Structure formats: C-alpha cells, structure tokens
Amino acid sequence: MTAADERPLTSYDRRMYRLMNRREGDALHATAARRRAVVVGHVALTAVAVAAWLFSVVGEQRWATFAMLGLLLPWCVATGVINSSTRGLLELRVRALDERQRAERVQVAARSRSVMLWLLLAVAVGAGALTLKGADTEGYLFPVLFSVFVVHWLMPLWVAGLSVRDEPHFDEGVDGLDDLGDLGGAAEAADARPPRP
Amino acid sequence: MSEHVHNRLAMVRAERKVSRQRLAEAVGVHYQTIGYIERGQYNPSLDLALKVAKFFELPVEALFSLEPFRPLTDQVYGRNQ
C-alpha cells in the first residue's frame, strides 16, 4: 500500500463508488449461477469481438467492423454487470476500498496471475510445437499476441466476477432489519464454517 | 491460513436495531463486509474489531471470540448444554 492509497477520496472516487454500488441491476448477479452466466457471456462476447477486430484490421473485412461495433454495447453492459457484482473491486481506487475488499483484490490478482501463467505456457508450448513441425507461424504472431493481451487485460475481471460471494441481505433501514433471517444466524454466525485459506 | 473467529455481531446488531449500512458507515467499511463478518466468511482485523466494539460500547471479547459462544439462554439461565 502506498501513501496515495491513504489519501482522502476525491469527487471522482465518490462518484465511482456510488456508481459501483448502485443497486438497480442486483437481480442480474444475485446468484452464483447468474454471475457465472454473465462471465461466460462476457468471455464469449470478448472472443467474438476480438475475432471481428482482427478480421477488420488484419483481414480487412468491412463487415467485421460493423459486427465489432454491434458487439460493443452488449459487451459494455456485461462488463458493467460484472463490475456491479464486485462492487467495483477492480475499478475503484484502493483508497475507496475497505480492508476486506483490498484483501480480495490481492487474491483476485494472484489467481489471475496463476491462470495467465498456465495460459502463456500453453501458448508457448503450442507455438514451439508448431515451429518444430516447420509450420509457418509468422502470420499468426499478431493475432495470437493481441488475443493474449486482451485475455491478460480481462482475466482479473473474469476471476473477480467468478469469485464474488452471494450478497448479504440488504437492510438499509432499521425497520427493515429484515434479516433476522441471518440471525437465525446468531447461532449460524457463531458456528459458521471457517473461511478457506 | 486463517483462524476462525466466532462473533455475535448479528445478534447484537439486531438487539440494538442497527442496520448493516449504519454500522458499516460508523466503522468505515463496506456494508457487505459487515455481512461477511456475520456469516463467518471474513475475519476482521484487530483495528476493525475494536472499532465495532467501540461502536456498540462493548468489550471486544463480547463480540468476537476464538471459541464458539454459548447460547444466550444458557448464559442467562445458567444451564449447561
């Protein structure tokens, strides 16, 4: 943690905090199954958008440009849903996060790094095997590198989206101390299973 | 590796009629963090545990313990399980 992480929140930080904590779309990521579906959808949209971009830039296909533009809106919506489910874990500055969120952000970064390590290893092994076979891989260099770059960029978002736990029931007002359900939970809280290391 | 810390936060919070949101704002964390502590999914730092205890004006060991808490009825009526 740096000194910058302890500075007071700016108006930008506060605006982003409010944005990431809006509750209108909560139903879209209320359960683990929905969050998984959103992340899988985001991965698929990203894959198709990257392919379309490569077709338009490398293959010079005009239709691909329009396809990419068409995918932009659903991709942004899916990104927003994942960010909303994590309450801005990756989008907010560290100083806008509390101790639990900071710890989760570090965990997400570590998991993403592990996944990327294996992915890069697979790409390196694949490229090495093709080169040994004498295949002409030169034309694939840019598309593969660009795809890996995009995956590297978005992996933390996907990992964060899949790591989110179900939201504690919201109880804004005291009258809505609605989850005495959780209280069934004084016992439950006391006997809750230890978090996994 | 983390030791599990048992807590009575949900019970005390309900007893005092304090919402998660209000408690979270008072101790400077996200409301989800309070929920995860109550569920036993997150162990608070010493700093946060002390802030929560101060908010409720209770000793920290009244809220957090390494041993499971005895049910209140047992404590009040002195019954052993």
Q: Is the pLDDT confidence value at A171 over 80?
A: no
Q: Across the interface, which of A165, A174, A182 has its CB nearest the CB of B38?
A: A182
Q: What are B23-71's pLDDT values in tens digits?
A: 999 999 999 999 999 999 999 999 999 999 999 999 999 999 998 888 8
pLDDT at A187: 40
Of the listed ranges A23-32, A77-86, A131-140, the one predicted with least confidence? A131-140
For B48, name the nearest residue in chain A, comparing CA atoms only. Answer: A99
Q: Which structural domain range is residue A147 located in?
A: 7-165
Whether A38 maps to a domain, the answer reads: yes
Number of domains forming the structure of chain A: 1
Q: What percent of chain A has pLDDT over 70?
A: 83
Q: Going from the N-terminus, what domains does chain B have, and what CATH number goes with each?
A: 6-77 (1.10.260.40)
Whether A92 maps to a domain, the answer reads: yes
Residues forming beta bridges with residue B7, ordered by sequence position: B64
pLDDT classification of A170: cutoffs 50, 70, 90: low
For A188, name the nearest residue in chain B, comparing CA atoms only. Answer: B39
Q: Is the pLDDT confidence value at A190 over 50?
A: no
For chain B, how far is it from start to end, CA to CA, in angstroms?
31
pTM: 0.82
Whether A194 maps to a domain, the answer reads: no
Look-up: residue for tokens 């964060």? Answer: A160
- ipTM attached to this prediction: 0.85
CA–CA min distance A181, chain B (Å)? 10
Tell me how far CA of residue A91 lies from CA of A41, A84, A136, A157, in angstroms: 20, 10, 40, 9
pLDDT classification of A8: cutoffs 50, 70, 90: confident
Q: What are A99-118's pLDDT values in tens digits?
A: 999 999 999 999 999 999 99
Whether A195 maps to a domain, the answer reads: no
Q: Is the pLDDT confidence value at A59 over 60?
A: yes
Tokens linked to A194:
């230890």
For B1, name the nearest residue in chain A, comparing CA atoms only. Answer: A197
Interface test with chain B among A97, A174, A196, by most B beta carbons within 10 Å: A174
Please state, in angstroms and rounded to a whole number, the distance separating the CA atoms of residues A120 and B28.
Answer: 40
Whether A123 maps to a domain, the answer reads: yes
